[in-house]
Chain A
Amino acid sequence: MMSYLKKYWYWCLLAPVFMMGEITMDLLQPDFMANIVDNGVLKHNMPLILSMGLRMILLVMFGGVCGFLSGWASNIAGQNFGNDLRKDLFSKIMNLSFQQTDKISTGSLVTRLSNDVTQVQNMVMLAVRGLVRSSIMFIGGIFMLYMQSPKFALIAILALPFVILSVWFFMRKASPMFTAVQQKIDGINNIMQENIAGARVVKAYVKEDYELGRFESANGELCDVNLRVQSLLAFMGPCMNIILNLCVVAIILIGGITVKNNGGITTGEIMAAITYIAMILMSVMFMANIFQTFTRAKASAERINEVLSCGHIIRSGDVSESHSQGGEIEFRNVCFAYPDSGKRSVLENINLKIHSGETLAILGATGSGKSTLVNLIPRFYDVTSGEVLLDGINVKEYDLKHLRDKISIVLQKAELYSRSIEENIKWGKKDATPWEIKEAAQIAQADNFICAAPNGYYTPVSEGGHSLSGGQKQRISIARALLKKAEILIFDDSTSALDLKTEANLYKALNEKFPETTKIIIAQRIASVRGADRIVVMDNGKITACGTHDELLETSEIYKDIYYSQLKKE
C-alpha cells in the first residue's frame, strides 16, 4: 500500500520540513513571551517590548506560512495518494471475476471504495503531518521546558505516565463500545427499512404494535450504549484537565519556591513553562488520537489489500479473429462447482452442441443449473472440468473482450443505471443512432411505453430503476442487448415479468429481425419455449432431455410433468 506514496515522496518529505519551521516558531514563541514579560514589562522597557513583539509577530507569521505550506504539501501527497488508490481499487473491482464478487459482496466493495479509502487517506495525511508534528512538539516542548528549568521538565515527565495511562484506558474501553453503537444503529435502520419497504405486510397482518415494540427495544438499546460511550468520554476531558491543572499548580508552587530561594527562575519563565507543559500534554493526546486512527485505518488497509491482491482468475486468451458466420457453441463434458461451496457440483458432465442460428430453449426448476450453464459461455465463470467451445475454439483461448463482444446476454435481474432510458439502451453500443435505438426498443416491445413517458427516450431511470415496473425494466435491458447485435443472444429468464402477449410479440419480432443469431432462451413457461428449435430440460445439473416440444412430450417425464402442471389437464 505504501508504494502508492512513492510517487509523492518529495511532498511527503516537504511537509515535515515546513512543519519543522512551524513548530520551531511555536516552540520559540512562549520563550519570546517570557522575554517580553521579564525584560520588557517587568523592567518597564517599552522599546524592548516593541522590538521583541515585532520580531515575535514576524516569527509567528513565518511559522504560519510554514504551517500553510506544510499543509499544502501533505494535502497534495495525501489526496493524490488517496486518488491513485481509489482509481486502482475501482479498476481492480471492475476486473474482478464473478467468482470473486460472489465472495466479497458488492455492498462490501462499495464501502471499501468509499469508506476504507477515505480512512487510509486520512491516516496518511495524519501521519505525514500530525505524527511528525506532535512528536516534534513533544520532544521540543520537553527540551524548552528543561531550558526554563530542569525541575519543570521533571514535572512534565512525572505527569506523562498518567496521561498515557488514562488515554490508553479510555481508548481501550471506548473502541468496543463504538462498534456496539454502530451495530445498534444498523439494527434500528434495519427495522426502519423493513417497516417502510414492508409496510403492506406489517399492516396486512396488523403488526403495528408488535413492530413498535421491536423498535422501542432497539431504540432503548441504542440509547443505553450511546449513553455508556458518552459517559465514558465525559470523564476523559476532566481527567486530562486535572492532570494539566495539577501541573500548572505544581509549576507555580515550585516556581514560587525557587524564586523565593533565589533559584534563578523568573516570572516570565513560569508563564512560559505553563504554556509548554500544555503543549506537551496536548501533543500526547494528539498522538493517542493518531494511534486510534491508525488502528482503524489498519483494518481498512487490510480490506483494501484483500481486493487489490485478488489475482486475475479469468485470464484472457489471444484469439481475436472472427470466423465467418459464427455462433456455434459446444459444451464438452462440462462440470462446474462454485468454489467455496464444498463439493456440491452445479453442472455435471454436460454435453451439448448449439448450432449457429439455432433457437435453443432451456427449461428446468430453480437451481437446476440453467443460469450457470449460460454464464460459462462469456466466461463469467470458468468450467471446473471439460471445455466450452465457441466456433470450434475453446472460449479460454479468446481474447476476453472479443469473446464478450460476440455474446449479448440479458441477465435475470435487469440492471439499469440512473441515466436516461436512451443512455441505458445505448450502453450496449455507444455510437448508436436514435433510429437504431428505437428499432431495438421496438423489437423489445419497449417503444410504446417509452414514447408514452413524459420525456420519451430522455426520461430518467431512477436509481435501481424503481420508477419502472419489472416488465418495463426487463424490456429495456432486452433492448440494450439487442442493440449490441452480437452473434449469440442469451435471455437468462429475462421475460418472466412480461405478460404472455407481449412476450409472444417480442419473440415474433426477434425471429424476424435476428434470424441468423444464435439464441439461447432460459424460461419458466412452456409457452415461452415451445416454438424453439430444440428444448433442453435440465434437472439437478444434468441435461435429462433434449428435443422439440413434440418429441419431449413423448419422451420426457419431467417435461410432460411441467407441461401438464402449466396446462392443468387432468
Chain B
Amino acid sequence: MMKQTEEKLPEGFNAPADEKIKYHKAEHDKAANLNFMRRGGPPGPNMGLPVEKPKQTKQTVSRLIKYFKNEKKLLVFLISAVLISTIVSLFAPALQGSAIDIILQGKWADLYGMVAVLFAVYALSTAFSLAQSLLSAHLSQRIVSSMRYDLFAKINRLSIKYLDTHSNGDVMSRMTNDVENVSNAVSQSIGSLVSGALTVVGTIAIMFYYCWQLTLITLLTVIITVVVTKELSQAMRRIYKKRSELLGMLNGHSEEMITGYKSVVAYNKQQDVIEEFNKASDELTKVSIRAEILGGSMGPIMNCISNISFVIVAAFGGYFALKGMITVGIISAFIIYARQFSRPINEIAQLYGSLQTAVAGAERVFELIDQPDEDNSGNLPIKNIKGRISFKNVNFSYTPDKQVLFDFNLDVDPGQKIALVGATGSGKTTVVNLLTRFYPVDSGEILIDGVNIMDLNRDELRRNIAIVLQDTVLFSDTIEKNIKYANHEASDEEMTYAAHMSNCTYFIERLPEQYQTFLKHAGSSLSQGQRQLLAIARAILADPKILILDEATSSVDTRTEKHIQDAMVNLMKNRTSLIIAHRLSTIQDADKIVVMDKGRIVESGTHDELLKQKGRYYELYMTQFAGNAI
C-alpha cells in the first residue's frame, strides 16, 4: 500500500482538484434552480428572494410592451380605473379630517352631509379598486397566455439539434418558471406602480396644500423609512439567497437519494446518506433561523419608525396648531397621509426586485423564441413514393471537432430490408437522424426516389417514414390515442389489427379499460418492453413506405421479439425498412447487412456472404452465438 501511494496516480485520476470543487458548485446551483422551478406557484412577495438582473433591459422591455399593445383597450380601462380609485382614496383622509373638524366645531348640520360624501367616496374607491383588480387579472392572464402560446409554438418548431444540445429542464423552466415570473410581475405591478406613484405625488401635493412646513417634516420621516427598507432588504436578499441555495442543495440531495433509493439500500449506505442529509438539514436550519429573524424584524422596525413619525407629526402639528396655522382635522389627515406614504414606497421598492426578475425571465423566454425555426425548405411534393433511398458521399458531424460519418454511401432498393450493425458510437443512429432531416448533412446528399430530401416538402417526407426509437415516447393519453397517434382518423379495426400485429393485444386486453386505459405519467406503469410494443403498433398503423426501427425491440424478450418479427415479415413487404439492432438474430434475414465502424461502412452483404468473409461481422456473430461470452 505504502509503495503504491508513492507511485504516480493511475491514468484518469490526474484531473486538477479544483475542477472537482467547481463541478460541485455548479451542480448545486443547478439543483437550486431546478428546485425553484419545481416549487411552482406564485413566489409571493419578492422581498427576500434572490433577484436576477437582466442583461438587455431595454430591448426586452420594449418587446414585452408589444404584448401589451394587443390589449390596448384593456390597458386603457385599467389605467383609468387605477387613476380614479387612487385619486378618490387620496381624498378620503382629507374628508375624514374634515369630518373630525366638523365634529370639533360642532357644525352638526354639516355632519350628515359630510358622512354621506365620505360614504360615497368610499363606495367609489371600492368600486374602482375592484375594477382595477379584475382588469389587471384579465390583462395579465391574456398576456401570459399569449406568451405561453408563442413559447410553445416555438418549442414545437425548434430543431432537434437545439433540443439535443440543451437540457430539457432548462427549456421547461422557461415555461414554468420564467413565464410565471412575468405573470406575477404583470398582475401585481401595473396597478401598484401606477397607483403607488400617483399616491406618492398626490399625497405630497395635498400635504403641501395644507401645510408645507409639516409636509417637509413628514418627508424627513419618509426618507428614514426608505433608507431603512433599502438596507434591510439588501441584507435580507443576501441571506435569503444563501438559504435558497442551501434548500436547493438539500432537496437535490434528498431527491436523488430517494429516487436512487434501491442502490442506497443495496450498498448499505443508509447511515452515510442520512448523516449527509442531517448535516445539510442542520446547516439549512441555522441559516433559515437567521433569515427569518431578520425578515421578522422588518415589521417591528417599520412599526417603530412609523410611530416615531407619528409623534413628530403630532408634536409639530400641535405646535403649528398652537400657532393657529392648521386645524386638528388637518393633523389627523397628516397622520393618515404619513402612513399612506410609506406603503407605496415600500411596495415600489419590492416591485423593483420582482420587475427585474420578470425582465430577466422575459429575456430568457425571448431568447428561446428567437431561436431559428427548424429548416423547412424544399417544397417538392411526394407522389407515389417507391422507397428507394441513397446516401451519396455523406459527411456529418454533430460538433465541428468530431466527425461522425465519413463519406457514407449506401443504396437501398424499394422494399429492401437493410440492417445496420456496429458498436455504440459507430454512427448507426446518425443515419436515421439524417434521413428524417432531424439534422442536415454537412456535405453529400440523401436521395429518396432520386430526389434530394432537402428539396422535398419536409412534412411529407416525414409522413412517409415511420420510426420506432429505443427510448419509447408515449403520451399521457389513452392507449387508443397513443396507437392512433399517426392517424387519428384510423378505424378501430385498423387499431386492433396494428395491436395484434405488434403483440400488444395480450397485455392491452388485461388492462381494466383495455384500449381506453389512460396512461398516467406517459405510460410509466408499463414495462419498457410493453412500451416498445405500443410504439411498434403506432408505426404499423402509420402505414409508411419507409420504416425505421432503431433498437426498437431491445427491451422485448427474444421470444416475443420473434413473434413480432414473424408478423412484420408481412408488414415489411413493399416497404423499405432500416433496422438497427444489437441482437444479430433480429437481422439475419435482411437483404443487406451493413457493418459500421467509426462512421464508416466496413462491410456489407447478406448474412451468409458476410459470414464467409470472416471479417468484422463474423467476429460479432461468433461472440454472440459461439458462446464465449461467459
Contacts and interface: CB of A to CB of B under 8 A. Distances in A.
B137 A79 contact: no
A205 B531 CA distance: 17
B314 to A, nearest CB: 5
A260 B106 contact: yes
A99 B466 CA distance: 40
A71 interface: yes
B557 A256 contact: no
A366 B265 contact: no
Interface stretch (B201-209, B352-360, B392-400, B469-477): B469-477
Interface of A is mostly: helix
Given A64-B303, A435-B10, A456-B13, A245 B585 contact: no
Nearest to B470: A470
B4 A94 contact: no
B261 A93 contact: yes
B291 to A, nearest CB: 9
B307 interface: yes
A246 to B, nearest CB: 8
A206 B296 contact: no
Instruction: Output the residue of A50, A256, A366 with the most chain B CB within 10 A.
Output: A256
Interface string A470-501: 01000001001000100000000000110111
Instruction: Output the residue of B145, B259, B265 with the most chain A CB within 10 A.
Output: B265
Contacts of A504: 623, 628-629
Contacts of A271: 100, 332, 335
Contacts of A109: 258
Given A94-B257, A223-B141, A507-B630, A53 B311 contact: yes
A234 B265 contact: no
Instruction: Output the residue of B152, B256, B542 with the most chain A CB within 10 A.
Output: B152
A384 interface: no
B141 A203 contact: no
B558 A525 contact: yes
Contact of B104 (A80, A267, A409): A267
Contacts of B307: 29, 56-57, 60
Contacts of A200: 160, 438, 467, 469, 473
Interface stretch (A159-167, A188-196, A318-326, A335-343): A188-196
B377 interface: no
A562 B558 contact: yes
Given A208-B156, A524-B558, A41 B318 contact: yes
A568 B4 contact: no
B297 interface: yes
A45 B554 CA distance: 94
Nearest to B487: A205
Nearest to B171: A196
B120 to A, nearest CB: 10
Interface in B259-308: 259-270, 272-274, 277-278, 281-282, 284-285, 288-289, 292-293, 296-297, 299-301, 303-304, 307-308
A191 to B, nearest CB: 8
A143 interface: no
Instruction: Output the residue of A40, A56, A234, A526 with the most chain B CB within 10 A.
Output: A234
Contacts of A388: none
Contacts of B319: 46
A447 interface: yes
Nearest to A403: B268
Contact of A203 (B10, B299, B335, B462): B462
Interface string B6-37: 00011111110001100100010011001100
Interface string A197-236: 1111111111110111001100110110011001101110
A68 B288 CA distance: 15
Nearest to B437: A203
Nearest to A258: B103
A492 to B, nearest CB: 10
B96 interface: yes
B327 to A, nearest CB: 10
Instruction: Output the residue of B118, B172, B251, B263 with the most chain A CB within 10 A.
Output: B263
B426 to A, nearest CB: 9
Interface in A259-277: 259-260, 267, 270-271, 274
Nearest to A73: B293
Contacts of B568: none
Nearest to A361: B630
Contact of A380 (B265, B267, B556, B561): B265
A416 B149 CA distance: 36
B559 A365 contact: yes
Instruction: Output the residue of A203, A267, A422, A466 with the most chain B CB within 10 A.
Output: A203
A422 B308 CA distance: 62
A369 interface: no
Q: How large is the interface on B (under 10, 10 to 19, 20 to 34, 35 or more residues)?
A: 35 or more
A245 B122 contact: yes
Contacts of B265: 94, 98, 380, 404
Interface in A358-375: 359, 361, 364-367
B229 to A, nearest CB: 15
Contacts of A508: 628
A95 interface: yes
Given A226-B141, A565-B561, A267 B629 contact: no
B522 A194 contact: yes
Interface of B is mostly: helix
B254 interface: yes
Contact of A256 (B11, B103, B160, B284): B103
B310 interface: yes
Interface in B106-154: 106, 108, 111-112, 115, 118-119, 122-123, 125-127, 129-130, 133-134, 137-138, 141-142, 144-145, 148-149, 152-153
A61 interface: yes
B293 A75 contact: yes
A237 B133 contact: yes
A197 B30 contact: no
Interface in B82-97: 96
Interface in A387-423: 401, 404-405, 407-409, 411, 415-418, 420, 422
Interface in A51-81: 53-54, 56-57, 60-61, 63-65, 67-68, 71-72, 75-76, 79-80
Contact of A22 (B13, B273, B300, B425): B300
B126 A252 contact: no
A54 B307 CA distance: 11
Interface string A268-306: 001100100000000000000000000000000000000
Contacts of A29: 307
A36 interface: yes
B620 A75 contact: no
Contact of A549 (B119, B522, B627): B627
A458 B23 CA distance: 9
Contact of B251 (A83, A114, A532): A114
A366 B270 contact: no
Given A49-B318, A524-B558, A532 B630 contact: yes
B466 A83 contact: no
Interface string B324-335: 000010011001
Contacts of A192: 152, 155, 171-172, 175-176
Interface string B151-180: 011011110100100011001100110000
A87 B423 contact: no
Contact of A79 (B175, B273, B285, B311): B285
Contacts of A175: none
A106 B260 CA distance: 9
Which 3 pairs of residues, A with B, have the shortest CB-CB distance?
A531-B630, A71-B296, A456-B12
Given A420-B23, A456-B11, 6 more contacts: A44-B318, A110-B259, A192-B171, A404-B265, A457-B13, A463-B31
25 contacts: A29-B307, A40-B318, A49-B315, A64-B300, A67-B300, A67-B303, A82-B285, A87-B281, A90-B281, A91-B277, A109-B258, A110-B259, A182-B41, A188-B148, A198-B475, A199-B163, A219-B145, A248-B118, A405-B268, A417-B256, A460-B27, A463-B31, A500-B620, A525-B624, A558-B559
